[in-house]
Amino acid sequence: MSGDTPRPGSREGAAPGLPTRRLLVLGGGAAALTALAGCGLRLDLPQPPPPVPTRKPAPDERFILAVIKDLRSLVRAAGTLEPRGEARGVLRETVAAQRRQIAVLTGRLTNAGVPTAEITAATAPAPVTPVTPVTAPTSSGASASTGTPSSKPSTGSPSGVATVQTVAQLAAVLATISPDRWTALAGATPGTRDLVLAAWSSRLASAALLGAAVDPTATPSAARPRIIDQTSPLVYGFEVAAAQSTGAGRTRALTTLDALRRLDLAVAGSTTSTPGGWALPFPVTTPDEAQRLATHLLATAVDATVDVAGGKPDGPALDDTARWSGRVQALATGWGMPLAAFPGTSA
């Protein structure tokens, strides 16, 4: 027998020192890997994660998010103030209206598929540092609350509400909406444009009620003729209401009439004329009918806000309309009409 004769139980060609059974197992595994590789599977690398789906932005998404952020900043700023007298009620109504605006505009985004978490993260309000109010004497000897330390009223976008320390400063912020924001609003879709125009007119009404000047734009816009057409009949109607009222009702009607005459002069300029000849919506011969006429005229004017702006308004027309509407809304509160979140709309 030669020295290279295989031993019993061994296999010709097997590697020295490896049992035949182990070779069979290894060979089977290699065959399996080869078969799986032939099916296009890679077992030596982890599978790549699935692609993250890309969300299509909602219409006007970035603009609405900016508006919501401003509103949340204004609400937070109002919460740091402790007004007294009439300002307390105005501030309470303003915050209630702005909370409603936040809810409606947020719902507009969520209905369009924007996740709530993204809205919350993108609209975090600007921080406000509360201050301790101190009492300072006024020229009349009464006490007035002011912030410490004192600062100039904040202007510009509500993103600067961190400097708000007094009601007057908040009013100044409410009254200031920059031209670029009106231009951005003009470029929004009609639904968004109408809602935000109404919301910003309400904001300007609050500013006027809190003591800020809300004057018509210096240069008449394309909406000015429609503004004049709405204002002059208001003057005529309140002349009738004042004439048919008595006592405190007459005093209130005359006060509103004086404000409307000044508004009519402001929007019409030197071309204003004594109003007359407009048909009343119903006969007015008693004090009760005069009260009804006053509230009807003011409510109708406020409801016309979106129509006054026009079908395709530009930024100046929206600004002009909101300022006029804000002044009228401020007058309407004196006749028992609360501040509305979206005056003149169904929202």
Average pLDDT over residues 317-334: 98
Please report whether residue 146 resides in a domain.
Answer: no
CA separation (Å) from 141 to 135, 136, 137, 175, 210? 11, 9, 6, 29, 21
Would you state the structure tokens that stand for residue 331, as one six-digit string? 């007058």
- Torsion-angle region of residue 273: left (phi > 0), alpha (psi -120 to 50) or beta? beta
Please report whether residue 174 resides in a domain.
Answer: yes
Peptide bond into 8 cis (omega under 30): no
Interior angle at CA 89, CA 304 and CA 337, nearest 5: 30
Give residue-wise pLDDT tens across range 207-240: 999 999 999 998 999 999 999 999 999 999 999 9
Please report whether residue 240 resides in a domain.
Answer: yes
Provide the CA 278 distance to its chain's centre, in angstroms: 37
> How many separate domains does the chain show?
1
Instruction: Inform me whether the pLDDT recorded for 150 exceeds 90.
Output: no
What pairs with residue 136 in β-bridges?
144
- Parent domain of 185: 61-124+164-334
Instruction: Inform me whether the pLDDT recorded for 145 exceeds 50.
Output: no
CA separation (Å) from 277 to 150, 232, 266, 274, 291? 52, 11, 21, 10, 20
Give residue-wise pLDDT tens across range 80-118: 999 999 999 999 999 999 999 999 999 999 999 999 999
Helix then strand then coil, % of the chain, to nearest 5: 60, 0, 40
Please report whether residue 42 resides in a domain.
Answer: no
Per residue, what are the HEC states of 246-274? Answer: CHHHHHHHHHHHHHHHHHHHHHHHHHCCC
- pTM, 2 dp: 0.78
Tell me, what's the pLDDT at 31? 52
Would you state the structure tokens that stand for residue 272, as one six-digit string? 């204003």
Please report whether residue 70 resides in a domain.
Answer: yes
Tell me, what's the pLDDT at 134? 38
CA separation (Å) from 55 to 23, 99, 188, 191, 192? 54, 27, 20, 22, 20
pLDDT band at 48 (very low <50, low <70, confident <90, very high): confident
The more confidently predicted of residues 158 and 37 is: 158
Would you state the structure tokens that stand for residue 274, as one six-digit string? 């004594």
What whole-number distance in Å separates Cα of residue 120 and Cα of residue 46? 36
